[in-house]
Structures are given as C-alpha cells and as structure tokens.
Amino acid sequence: MQRIEKNLAAFLMAGLLFETAPSLTGQQAPQMPAAPSRISVTTELVLVNVVARDKKGNLIRDLKKEDFALLEDGKKQGISTFDFENVDEPLTAGAAEATVSGSAPGGNLLRAPKKGPASLDARDRRLMLFFFDFSSMDPEQIDRAVDAAKSFVSTKMQPADLIALVSLATNLRVDLDFTDDKRKLLAALSSYTSGEGQGFDNGSTGSAEGTAETGGSFTADDTDYNTFSADRKLLALESIMQGLGKLSQKKSLICFSNGISQSGTDNQAALRAATAAAVKANVSIYAMDLRGLQAFPPGGEAQSASLHGQSAYSGQSVLNDLNDNAASQETLATLSSDTGGKSFFDSNDFSGVFSQVQKDTSAYYVLGFVSNNPAKDGRYRHLKVQVNRPDLKLDYRSGYYADRDFEHLNKADREQQLEDELAAQLSQVDVPLYAGAAYFRQDDSHYYLAVSLVIPGSQIPFVTEKDKDNATIDIIGQVLESGKFPVGHLRDTVKLTVDATRQVRRKNVQYNTGFVLAPGSYHLKFVVRENQTGRMGAFEMEAKIPDLRKAPLKMSSVVLSSLRTPVAGKKTGPNPLVRDQMETVPNITHVFTADQHLYLQYEVYDAAKGKNPARAATNSQADAAKAEAAKVPRDSVRVLTSIEFLQGGVKVYESKPVVTKEVAAPERKAVVLQIDVPLGSLKPGLYLCQVNVIDDVSGNFAFPRFPVLIREAATSAGVKAGS
C-alpha cells in the first residue's frame, strides 16, 4: 500500500479572534484574524500489479481501465488509478489515467533525500536492486556474486533497466542508487572486495572465527541482539522495502546470499514482516544461493575440524550437512515465493536469475484503489481481479493485510487485539522484541523452561509525572506442543515506574517467566504492546526439550548472565535460576563488556555415585585401603567443570577446574554448578566459550559451546521488569 497525505488549510470564518496583551499606553492592541489551522487527511492507496496473457502465454498490452474489475473480499472496488508499464517498448499501449507513477524522487530513493532531489523517470523502466549479503559470505562467494553481476551489466543489461546496489556487512549501505550508467555500475561492483565478508553465519557446527561486528545497528538498543541472529538480515530487507515503497512500479530485488539459517531462537515474526513489507512496497524477491552445486565429503571439508564418533562412517555426517544446507535455503525460498519472485539453488550458472527478472517485468498493469472498507482491523483482505475478455489469464497478488487502529479500541477490544495478534499468521514487529529459553529438569518427566523477553527501553514511550517515568506493557504468550496443541499460556501487564534520572530509555526492559513442560518439541510465541501508542511486537521460536533419561550425561541448558539480583521475600516457585535468595538473570545476547563478570549456571542430574570398594570386595582390608587411597567417599558424586575461551581455533583462556561432590538440589537429583568468570583479562572481540563438564565417576562428559562477544566500553545494563 502507498500512503498519500493531503494538507488542507481551513480558515475559521465564525468571527474567532485572538487578543494580545494591552500595550504600555493603555490602548488595546489591534486584533488579528486567527491563524489558519491545518487538517491532515490520510488515505490508503492499494496497488495491484496485473500481468495479462493469452492462451499461448503472450503478453496482452492493449487493455484499458474499463476492461478491469477489482473486488476486495467479494465487494467491488472503484479503480482510482490506472497505469500500464511497458518495458519492452518506448510507448505505452494503454493510455495512463490518474497515474501514481511518472516522475518520482530520485538520487536517493533508498535514503533521506538531499537538497533539491533530482527526478527519476521510472515509467516504463525495469527497476532492479542487487542486494549483496556480505555479512555471511566468504571471499570465494563474494567473487562469484560480483562476477555474476558484472557479467549481466556488461552483456545483458537492456536500455530500460535501472539498477541499484545495496550491501550488508557491518551495517546496511546504499552503494549506488538507481541508474542505467554501466560505467558507474561496473565501478561500484569493482569496489567490492573479499574483505567485505564477516563470516558470522557459520551454521550450527561451524567455526567461530571472524571479526566481531563493530558497526552501527538499526537502533541504539538492539545491536547486541542482531549480532548472532538472522533478524539482522530480515530487518535490513524490511528497511530496504520502506525505501523502495516510494516508487509505485514493480521492483525486483535480487538477493545474493549463501543462505539464511534460522535456529529455534530466531524470530519467525521478522520473516513474515519482511515479506509483508515487500508486498506493500510492490517488490518481488529473487533469491540466489551463491554456494552453487555443493558436494559434502563424509569426513567434512578441509577447513573444518576432524569429526568425532562414527558419523563419518555411517553417513550421518553427510545427512546432517544436507539438512543444514536445506534449512539455510528454506528462508530464501520463503522470501521468494511469498513475494512473487523465484529462488535459484544448487546451480553454478548464476545468469538465470537475471533473465527471469527481465521476463517477469516486461509488461504489466498497475491498478490502484482506495478500499471502501474503513475498518483498520489488521485482517487479511482477499483480492480478485477480473477482465472482460474470457480468453485471458491474469497474474496478481491474492491479497494484503489492512492496518490496525489502536486509539479508538476499548478495553475489551484491546484484549481481543492481543488474542488476535497471538493467533495471527503475520505478526507485527513495530516494537523490537527478543527472547531466549533454557530448560532445567524438575523430575523424570517434567522440565522447567525458563523464558526471558527483552524490549529496548527506547521503544517504550514514557509519561513523566513529577520525577518519575511511568509506562505499562501488556504481554501475552502461548506454548504449542508440536506447533498445534496449546500447553502453556501467559498474560500479564507490567507497570514500569522508574526515576527519570536512571535514563531508562537507554536501557533494556527484561521480563522473566517460565513453563513446566514434558519433553518434546514446542512452538513459542509472545506478543508485547506498549499502551501509549498501541505499537506491538512479536517473537516466535522453536524450543526442544530433550528426554534426558536417554542421555549419557544428563545436563540442563547453560545460562550465561552478567547480572545476579536479590529476591528476598519473593515467591520463586520452581525457578531453578533462583538459589540462596539470588536470581541469575539470563543474558540472551551473549554480549558482555570487559568490566563485567560472566556468570554461568547449569545442572547435572543423576550423577553417578562412587561405591565403597571395601564393601564391594568382601570387606577386604586391601580393598578398603585402596578406597582410602583413591579418596572416593561412600555414596558421593564427583563432577568437574571448567570454562574455556577460544578465538580463531586457539584456546586463549581457561578457568581453574571446579570439583563438586554434593547434590545441591536433592528433590531434583541435581548437581548445581555456578561459575564466575571475570572478563577483565580478555581482550575485546568475538570468542567461542566452551563449557567442560565431566562426570568423573561414570566417565561421561559434555562440551557445549556458545559465541560470546566482549566489548570495550560498558553498555547500558538491563532494567528488570518482572518475572
């Protein structure tokens, strides 16, 4: 949809005058007519692209506005604008009426315009944007992307083509706005070097080598959350769509990427928001996987460490590589299919994507209408386009989502709005929301899933009363087993009252909660709404709770934290993160500063107990002496743990081993491990944190790893809202 605003100047003619203060001479100042007030009227123009073909697949170029009929949810709509974009020929076949295209602001279509913006005649032009996702490419893939783009510009670019270049490395950058100058395009493409790649996205088993992200983020508060999340790329795409929405013509975005891997903690709502923004901006995404046709050696690639176990001989390692590759392509395929584009995978010929874009944008009609349904309920509205010639086939998008209005909703409607948003397939992301989860065993068949929700303080509008800032946040959430059956529900309203001197707008608001669940796979969705403007945000994630009865070493999740807070007199329930009246607050970003401490908490269950050898060997004095020498107490456990930091595959730090010989939580048969690692001795940078856990009696062990970013200067700490 395209927003059109009209300002109307209205003069009040009812004799309304304002008075000024009397002058020093005692005479009243002359009365002046009232200043004109301004009334802003906003209307939503919905644009629909229509491609008409005959039975043989030939494009039809001679249709008029009167030949079309447009219906929304079965109700006929008036076509207020009509245009025909004919890229193949310089003259249009149909006369344009009240067009929304024509001259459009150029020069800086994707960013804020400068003084005196130039004009870009986008009519009958093919608009193509090359988006280079350098944040995850290696040097070889960068060369492939640049060479493919250069080859197209040099040999197959047509006079009607307008091309823009955008790249994402440490930040989003517009390298070249729309132009048909081949020399400028080739020069800009040649400026891309292999050093653009960052190497953050290494997959679930990749190396953590690479340079830490030090560039700017999309807002001042969520840099940490963009570091290890696919949301960063999706937010970049959504930002591009907002810039492309200035032109009503159909746009094609060619995404050069090596896949977008989404783990269970990545936000699926951001993916849907990116596709919705593309539909509104009239953009089709064509995704191209630059890895091309890959071969997966059973023993792994040369740059990877050797495999452990039997996976290299059973074929499991190759199957895992295939699954990881398909998962990284799934997000690109979704972006393409949901926006009317196409995806190109598993091919070393990268020229097909350009030919497909040129074919799909040769000629099309642009129909614009203002819906006669004034309700802003956010619901999906189905579109249907008809033509008075029965032998034609029409291609167009099937519908769009209407806007929501918060201001005029009563209490019941606002509550229903939260429920609708929780059930909506396309969630709103106006308020950034981040979430993390960790599981701890309660008994053999139940686990406590600790969940943390984080909202940047800058996204919450506060109302100042005296010396305090006040705001309220509504939170709703649900847990679905296997993505279908609800097994958990959350509804809460958080009141924030903080001193204005604490500068809460520069901090983060964190809400902690939890659910008791059985082992299995779950889909979690949370929705937050700030109640000043009604903006909402959502976060969706997958959580898998394993059945530890089958695991050699029964271990919980590892929680990384930079903050422990007292909870004296507070009911904590089954939350295992609360011990000795202190709560470990999860740091879901894994981003710390050098002046902080890294607190780690995790548990080992059913640790093997040492048997008294004297009893096992018929009370032999020799065996009893051996047991004494081994210093293995009767019916005790022995769990060893330490923390390592790796950088570039080299160990740069290792903590002293900690030996635990007692079950601290007997009701859960849990050995509780709490480690404090000062970070002052580590240089700022990106590390791989390895947690070493060994059950010394049974001989079982585990070595979970996590990426950790350490920064130089201290960032604003989180403000805890509730739990």
Express each pLDDT in 444-490 by its tens digit: 899 999 999 999 888 888 877 776 778 889 999 999 998 788 999 99
237 and 338 in contact (C-beta within 8 Å)?
no
- pLDDT at residue 17 in the model: 27
Query: Would you say the CATH fold of 551-723 matches that of 125-361?
Result: no
Mean pLDDT of 685-699: 93
- pLDDT at residue 50 in the model: 87
| CATH topology assigned to domain 125-361 | Rossmann fold (3.40.50)
Beta strands in 556-704 (DSSP E): 559-566, 578-579, 582-586, 591-593, 597-605, 639-647, 650-654, 658-660, 670-678, 685-695, 700-702
Q: Which amino acid is present at 224?
A: D
In the CATH hierarchy, which top-level class contains the domain 551-723? mainly beta
Please name which of 426, 424, 421 lies closest in space to residue 528, comparing C-alpha atoms: 421
Q: What is the mean pLDDT of the chain?
A: 76
Alpha-carbon gap, residue 477 to 491, rounded angstroms = 7
Output the CA angle 284-282-75, nearest 5 degrees: 120
- pLDDT at residue 320 in the model: 66
Q: What backbone torsions phi and psi does residue 613 show, to the nearest 5 degrees? A: -60, -30
435 and 512 in contact (C-beta within 8 Å)?
no
Enumerate the domain spans of the chain.
2-102+366-401, 125-361, 422-549, 551-723
Output the CA angle 516-520-525, nearest 5 degrees: 65
What residues contact residue 261 under an 8 Å CB cut-off, 6+ apart? Answer: 201, 203, 204, 230, 324, 327, 328, 331
Q: Is the pLDDT of residue 208 over 90?
A: no
- pLDDT at residue 46 in the model: 83
pLDDT band at 295 (very low <50, low <70, confident <90, very high): low
pLDDT band at 253 (very low <50, low <70, confident <90, very high): very high
- By 3-state DSSP, what share of the chain in percent is helix, strand and coil, each rounded to 5? 20, 40, 40
Tens digits of per-residue pLDDT, 508-558? 889 999 999 999 999 999 999 998 888 899 999 999 999 998 889 999 999
- pLDDT at residue 570 in the model: 55
Q: Is the pLDDT of residue 280 over 60?
A: yes
476 and 511 in contact (C-beta within 8 Å)?
no
What is the DSSP-derived secondary structure letter of residue 459?
G
- pLDDT at residue 636 in the model: 79
| High-pLDDT (> 90) share of the chain, % | 32
Tell me the two tokens of residue 195: 């050093």
Mean pLDDT of 182-207: 67
Tell me the two tokens of residue 250: 């159909």
Alpha-carbon gap, residue 525 to 478, rounded angstroms = 6
Q: Is the pLDDT of residue 106 over 90?
A: no
Residue bearing the bigger pLDDT, 196 or 104: 196
- pLDDT at residue 622 in the model: 47
- pLDDT at residue 126 in the model: 87
Mean pLDDT of 95-105: 37
pLDDT band at 102 (very low <50, low <70, confident <90, very high): very low
> Of 124-133, 152-161, 245-254, 620-629, which range is least confident?
620-629
For the ranges 216-220, 457-461, 693-697, the maximum mean pLDDT occurs at 693-697
- pLDDT at residue 311 in the model: 59
How many helices (H) and strands (E) the chain has is answered by: 11, 41
Tens digits of per-residue pLDDT, 365-398? 888 899 998 887 767 788 899 999 988 999 887 7
152 and 351 in contact (C-beta within 8 Å)?
yes
- pLDDT at residue 139 in the model: 84
Alpha-carbon gap, residue 282 to 367, rounded angstroms = 12
Secondary structure string (H, E, C) spanning 53-70: ECCCCCECCCCCHHHEEE
| CATH topology assigned to domain 422-549 | Immunoglobulin-like (2.60.40)
Alpha-carbon gap, residue 40 to 323, rounded angstroms = 53
Tell me the two tokens of residue 161: 């083509």
- pLDDT at residue 675 in the model: 94
3 state DSSP class of 429: strand
231-244 and 268-280 helices, crossing angle to 10°: 10
For the ranges 1-10, 231-240, 436-445, the maximum mean pLDDT occurs at 436-445
Residue bearing the bigger pLDDT, 183 or 302: 183
Question: Is 407 exposed, middle or buried, given 0-12, 13-18 or 19+ CB atoms closer than 10 A?
Answer: exposed
Question: Where is 241: in which H helix or E strand?
Answer: helix 231-244
